[in-house]
Amino acid sequence: MFGFLNVYKPVGMTSHDVVSKLRKLTNIKQIGHTGTLDPFAEGVLPVCIGKATRLIEYLDDDKEYLAAVQFGTSTTTYDIEGEVTFTSDKKITAENIKNSLKDFEGEILQYPPIYSAIKLKGKKLYEYARSGQEVKIDPRKVTIENIELKSFDEELQQAEILIKCSKGTYIRSIAHDLGQKLECGAHLIKLVRTQAGKFKVENSVKLEEIDVIKNLVNPLEVLNYPKISAAADDIEYIRNGRALKNKNIKHGSVVILIYNDNEICAVGIADNDVIKLKKVFL
Protein backbone atom coordinates (compact mmCIF):
# COMPACT_ATOMS: atom_id res chain seq x y z
CA MET A 1 0.00 0.00 0.00
CA PHE A 2 1.41 3.37 -1.00
CA GLY A 3 0.12 6.77 -2.08
CA PHE A 4 -0.48 10.26 -0.73
CA LEU A 5 -2.57 11.74 2.07
CA ASN A 6 -3.91 15.29 1.89
CA VAL A 7 -3.45 16.22 5.55
CA TYR A 8 -4.65 19.44 7.18
CA LYS A 9 -1.77 20.61 9.37
CA PRO A 10 -3.06 22.43 12.46
CA VAL A 11 -1.51 25.48 14.12
CA GLY A 12 1.15 24.65 16.70
CA MET A 13 2.55 21.54 15.02
CA THR A 14 5.58 21.29 12.77
CA SER A 15 5.48 19.24 9.58
CA HIS A 16 7.72 16.69 11.34
CA ASP A 17 5.22 16.52 14.22
CA VAL A 18 2.51 15.58 11.73
CA VAL A 19 4.63 12.78 10.27
CA SER A 20 5.49 11.46 13.76
CA LYS A 21 1.83 11.42 14.78
CA LEU A 22 0.82 9.67 11.55
CA ARG A 23 3.42 6.96 12.17
CA LYS A 24 1.88 6.30 15.57
CA LEU A 25 -1.68 6.39 14.24
CA THR A 26 -1.03 4.11 11.27
CA ASN A 27 1.93 1.95 12.41
CA ILE A 28 3.51 2.77 9.05
CA LYS A 29 7.16 3.78 9.34
CA GLN A 30 7.85 4.90 5.77
CA ILE A 31 6.11 8.30 5.79
CA GLY A 32 7.37 11.69 4.61
CA HIS A 33 5.98 15.18 4.07
CA THR A 34 6.43 17.19 0.90
CA GLY A 35 6.80 20.78 2.12
CA THR A 36 7.50 22.47 5.43
CA LEU A 37 4.95 24.76 7.06
CA ASP A 38 5.85 27.04 9.98
CA PRO A 39 4.27 25.96 13.31
CA PHE A 40 1.97 29.01 13.38
CA ALA A 41 0.74 28.23 9.83
CA GLU A 42 -1.95 25.72 8.92
CA GLY A 43 -3.47 24.05 5.90
CA VAL A 44 -2.56 21.59 3.15
CA LEU A 45 0.36 19.26 3.85
CA PRO A 46 0.72 16.44 1.30
CA VAL A 47 2.12 13.34 3.02
CA CYS A 48 3.69 10.33 1.27
CA ILE A 49 2.86 6.84 2.48
CA GLY A 50 5.14 3.87 1.82
CA LYS A 51 6.95 3.79 -1.50
CA ALA A 52 5.28 7.08 -2.51
CA THR A 53 8.16 8.80 -0.68
CA ARG A 54 10.16 8.03 -3.84
CA LEU A 55 7.73 10.14 -5.87
CA ILE A 56 8.11 13.43 -3.96
CA GLU A 57 10.35 14.95 -6.65
CA TYR A 58 7.61 14.48 -9.27
CA LEU A 59 4.89 16.41 -7.42
CA ASP A 60 3.98 19.89 -8.66
CA ASP A 61 5.76 22.60 -6.65
CA ASP A 62 3.29 25.49 -6.98
CA LYS A 63 1.54 26.61 -3.80
CA GLU A 64 -1.40 28.83 -2.87
CA TYR A 65 -1.83 30.66 0.44
CA LEU A 66 -4.38 32.86 2.17
CA ALA A 67 -2.35 35.31 4.24
CA ALA A 68 -3.69 37.63 6.96
CA VAL A 69 -1.49 40.73 7.21
CA GLN A 70 -1.45 43.32 9.99
CA PHE A 71 -0.35 46.78 8.87
CA GLY A 72 1.24 49.34 11.18
CA THR A 73 3.77 47.04 12.85
CA SER A 74 6.91 45.16 11.72
CA THR A 75 8.56 42.31 13.65
CA THR A 76 11.91 40.52 13.72
CA THR A 77 10.44 37.30 12.30
CA TYR A 78 8.05 39.06 9.87
CA ASP A 79 5.18 37.31 11.67
CA ILE A 80 3.12 37.42 14.86
CA GLU A 81 5.72 35.46 16.87
CA GLY A 82 8.52 38.03 16.56
CA GLU A 83 9.50 41.10 18.56
CA VAL A 84 8.21 44.47 17.37
CA THR A 85 10.86 46.47 15.47
CA PHE A 86 8.75 49.30 14.01
CA THR A 87 5.33 50.90 14.48
CA SER A 88 3.45 53.52 12.50
CA ASP A 89 0.21 55.48 12.87
CA LYS A 90 -0.13 55.78 9.11
CA LYS A 91 -3.48 54.50 7.85
CA ILE A 92 -3.72 52.83 4.46
CA THR A 93 -6.64 51.94 2.19
CA ALA A 94 -7.63 48.91 0.16
CA GLU A 95 -6.69 50.85 -2.96
CA ASN A 96 -3.18 51.47 -1.57
CA ILE A 97 -2.74 47.72 -1.06
CA LYS A 98 -4.08 46.76 -4.50
CA ASN A 99 -1.74 49.20 -6.23
CA SER A 100 1.29 47.95 -4.27
CA LEU A 101 0.51 44.27 -4.89
CA LYS A 102 1.07 44.82 -8.61
CA ASP A 103 4.81 45.11 -7.92
CA PHE A 104 4.86 41.57 -6.49
CA GLU A 105 3.50 39.86 -9.62
CA GLY A 106 5.63 37.65 -11.85
CA GLU A 107 9.27 36.74 -11.24
CA ILE A 108 10.70 38.76 -8.36
CA LEU A 109 13.81 38.85 -6.19
CA GLN A 110 12.96 38.12 -2.57
CA TYR A 111 15.06 38.26 0.59
CA PRO A 112 14.25 35.35 2.93
CA PRO A 113 13.54 36.22 6.58
CA ILE A 114 16.59 36.08 8.85
CA TYR A 115 14.47 33.80 11.04
CA SER A 116 14.31 30.94 8.53
CA ALA A 117 15.87 27.49 8.10
CA ILE A 118 17.87 28.39 4.99
CA LYS A 119 21.51 27.41 5.45
CA LEU A 120 24.44 29.77 5.03
CA LYS A 121 27.97 28.42 5.52
CA GLY A 122 26.60 25.32 7.24
CA LYS A 123 24.38 27.18 9.72
CA LYS A 124 20.66 27.98 9.55
CA LEU A 125 19.82 31.66 9.28
CA TYR A 126 17.79 31.65 12.50
CA GLU A 127 20.88 30.41 14.35
CA TYR A 128 22.74 33.55 13.28
CA ALA A 129 19.74 35.67 14.27
CA ARG A 130 19.44 34.12 17.73
CA SER A 131 23.13 34.67 18.41
CA GLY A 132 22.92 38.30 17.30
CA GLN A 133 25.25 37.81 14.33
CA GLU A 134 24.69 39.91 11.24
CA VAL A 135 25.01 38.05 7.93
CA LYS A 136 24.62 39.03 4.30
CA ILE A 137 21.58 37.33 2.79
CA ASP A 138 21.35 37.08 -0.97
CA PRO A 139 17.97 37.51 -2.67
CA ARG A 140 16.35 34.54 -4.39
CA LYS A 141 14.23 34.41 -7.52
CA VAL A 142 10.64 33.33 -6.93
CA THR A 143 7.54 33.51 -9.10
CA ILE A 144 4.24 35.00 -7.97
CA GLU A 145 1.65 33.68 -10.40
CA ASN A 146 -1.23 35.53 -8.77
CA ILE A 147 -1.59 37.91 -5.81
CA GLU A 148 -4.85 39.62 -4.93
CA LEU A 149 -6.53 41.39 -2.03
CA LYS A 150 -9.52 39.36 -0.82
CA SER A 151 -10.65 41.62 2.03
CA PHE A 152 -9.50 44.62 4.08
CA ASP A 153 -10.65 45.87 7.48
CA GLU A 154 -9.75 49.55 7.38
CA GLU A 155 -10.42 50.06 11.08
CA LEU A 156 -8.17 47.18 12.20
CA GLN A 157 -5.77 47.71 9.29
CA GLN A 158 -5.85 43.97 8.52
CA ALA A 159 -5.92 42.42 5.06
CA GLU A 160 -6.50 38.95 3.62
CA ILE A 161 -4.33 38.33 0.57
CA LEU A 162 -4.47 35.30 -1.73
CA ILE A 163 -1.09 34.33 -3.16
CA LYS A 164 -0.30 31.65 -5.75
CA CYS A 165 3.45 31.17 -6.00
CA SER A 166 6.41 28.94 -6.76
CA LYS A 167 8.22 26.67 -4.33
CA GLY A 168 10.52 28.53 -1.94
CA THR A 169 8.44 31.70 -1.71
CA TYR A 170 8.32 33.20 1.77
CA ILE A 171 4.89 34.69 2.46
CA ARG A 172 6.31 36.34 5.59
CA SER A 173 8.71 38.27 3.37
CA ILE A 174 5.86 39.40 1.13
CA ALA A 175 4.00 40.76 4.19
CA HIS A 176 7.13 42.53 5.45
CA ASP A 177 8.07 43.94 2.03
CA LEU A 178 4.51 45.15 1.46
CA GLY A 179 4.67 47.05 4.75
CA GLN A 180 7.95 48.65 3.72
CA LYS A 181 6.57 49.62 0.32
CA LEU A 182 3.56 51.30 1.96
CA GLU A 183 5.85 52.92 4.57
CA CYS A 184 3.70 51.72 7.45
CA GLY A 185 5.24 48.37 8.42
CA ALA A 186 3.44 45.01 8.30
CA HIS A 187 3.69 41.44 9.51
CA LEU A 188 1.91 38.14 9.01
CA ILE A 189 -0.69 37.23 11.67
CA LYS A 190 -2.19 34.12 10.07
CA LEU A 191 -1.29 31.82 7.19
CA VAL A 192 -3.33 29.06 5.58
CA ARG A 193 -1.90 26.99 2.73
CA THR A 194 -4.94 26.43 0.54
CA GLN A 195 -3.28 24.38 -2.20
CA ALA A 196 -0.07 22.45 -2.92
CA GLY A 197 0.06 21.15 -6.47
CA LYS A 198 -3.18 19.25 -6.98
CA PHE A 199 -3.89 18.94 -3.24
CA LYS A 200 -6.60 21.41 -2.18
CA VAL A 201 -7.63 22.52 1.29
CA GLU A 202 -11.30 21.62 0.74
CA ASN A 203 -10.27 17.97 0.27
CA SER A 204 -7.78 17.85 3.17
CA VAL A 205 -8.38 15.67 6.24
CA LYS A 206 -7.70 16.47 9.89
CA LEU A 207 -5.16 14.22 11.60
CA GLU A 208 -7.64 12.76 14.06
CA GLU A 209 -10.05 11.86 11.25
CA ILE A 210 -7.61 10.13 8.88
CA ASP A 211 -8.45 6.67 7.59
CA VAL A 212 -5.47 5.62 5.48
CA ILE A 213 -7.41 3.15 3.35
CA LYS A 214 -10.26 5.59 2.73
CA ASN A 215 -8.18 8.75 2.31
CA LEU A 216 -5.20 7.39 0.36
CA VAL A 217 -4.74 9.24 -2.95
CA ASN A 218 -3.54 7.26 -5.97
CA PRO A 219 -0.28 8.81 -7.32
CA LEU A 220 -1.73 8.60 -10.83
CA GLU A 221 -4.35 11.19 -9.81
CA VAL A 222 -1.88 13.88 -8.73
CA LEU A 223 1.29 13.37 -10.80
CA ASN A 224 1.13 15.64 -13.82
CA TYR A 225 3.05 13.59 -16.42
CA PRO A 226 2.17 11.53 -19.50
CA LYS A 227 0.92 8.05 -18.58
CA ILE A 228 1.04 4.80 -20.50
CA SER A 229 -0.47 1.43 -19.69
CA ALA A 230 1.91 -1.51 -19.38
CA ALA A 231 0.95 -4.61 -21.34
CA ALA A 232 1.06 -8.02 -19.62
CA ASP A 233 4.37 -8.93 -21.30
CA ASP A 234 5.92 -5.63 -20.08
CA ILE A 235 5.56 -6.51 -16.39
CA GLU A 236 8.55 -8.84 -16.22
CA TYR A 237 10.70 -6.29 -18.05
CA ILE A 238 9.67 -3.67 -15.52
CA ARG A 239 10.41 -5.94 -12.54
CA ASN A 240 13.91 -6.45 -13.90
CA GLY A 241 14.40 -2.73 -14.58
CA ARG A 242 14.79 -3.28 -18.31
CA ALA A 243 13.98 -0.57 -20.85
CA LEU A 244 10.66 -0.71 -22.70
CA LYS A 245 9.90 0.08 -26.29
CA ASN A 246 8.65 3.64 -26.68
CA LYS A 247 4.86 3.55 -27.00
CA ASN A 248 4.20 6.53 -29.28
CA ILE A 249 5.76 9.08 -26.91
CA LYS A 250 7.20 11.50 -29.46
CA HIS A 251 9.21 13.72 -27.13
CA GLY A 252 12.66 12.72 -25.94
CA SER A 253 13.86 13.06 -22.34
CA VAL A 254 10.39 13.37 -20.86
CA VAL A 255 9.16 11.71 -17.65
CA ILE A 256 6.64 8.91 -18.23
CA LEU A 257 4.40 7.20 -15.65
CA ILE A 258 3.87 3.51 -16.42
CA TYR A 259 0.87 1.84 -14.84
CA ASN A 260 -1.04 -1.42 -14.82
CA ASP A 261 -4.52 -2.05 -13.38
CA ASN A 262 -4.69 1.60 -12.18
CA GLU A 263 -1.50 1.27 -10.13
CA ILE A 264 1.81 2.91 -10.91
CA CYS A 265 4.46 0.36 -11.88
CA ALA A 266 7.40 2.59 -12.72
CA VAL A 267 8.68 6.02 -13.62
CA GLY A 268 10.67 6.19 -16.84
CA ILE A 269 12.34 8.61 -19.21
CA ALA A 270 11.42 8.52 -22.89
CA ASP A 271 14.63 8.54 -24.92
CA ASN A 272 13.91 8.31 -28.64
CA ASP A 273 12.59 4.79 -29.28
CA VAL A 274 12.90 3.44 -25.70
CA ILE A 275 11.70 4.23 -22.20
CA LYS A 276 14.48 3.86 -19.65
CA LEU A 277 13.20 3.03 -16.18
CA LYS A 278 14.28 5.29 -13.31
CA LYS A 279 12.15 3.96 -10.44
CA VAL A 280 10.29 0.66 -10.20
CA PHE A 281 7.42 -0.05 -7.79
CA LEU A 282 6.57 -3.69 -8.52
Reply yes or no on whether 38 is catalytic. Answer: yes
Q: Which of 38, 79, 177, 234 is catalytic?
A: 38
Residues near 159 by beta carbon (within 8 Å), at least 6 away in sequence: 68, 69, 71, 94, 97, 149, 150, 151, 152, 153
Alpha helices (H) in 142-281, listed in sequence order: 171-181, 212-215, 219-222, 235-239
How far apart CA 266 and CA 155 sit, in angstroms, is 56
Question: End-to-end alpha-carbon separation of the chain, Å?
Answer: 11
Report DSSP letters for 92-132, one per residue: --HHHHHHHHGGGSEEEEEPPPSSS--EETTEEHHHHHHTT
The 8-class DSSP code of residue 79 comes to B
Rounded distance between C-alpha atoms, residue 200 and residue 7, angstroms? 10
Strands 158-165 and 140-153: antiparallel
State whether residue 171 is helix, strand or coil: helix
Q: How many CB atoms lie within 10 A of CB 55?
A: 21
Helix (H, G, I), strand (E, B) or coil at 229: strand
**List of E strands, 116-272:** 119-120, 123-124, 140-153, 158-165, 186-196, 199-200, 205-206, 227-229, 244-245, 254-260, 263-271
Q: How many CB atoms lie within 10 A of CB 241?
A: 13
What residues act catalytically? 38
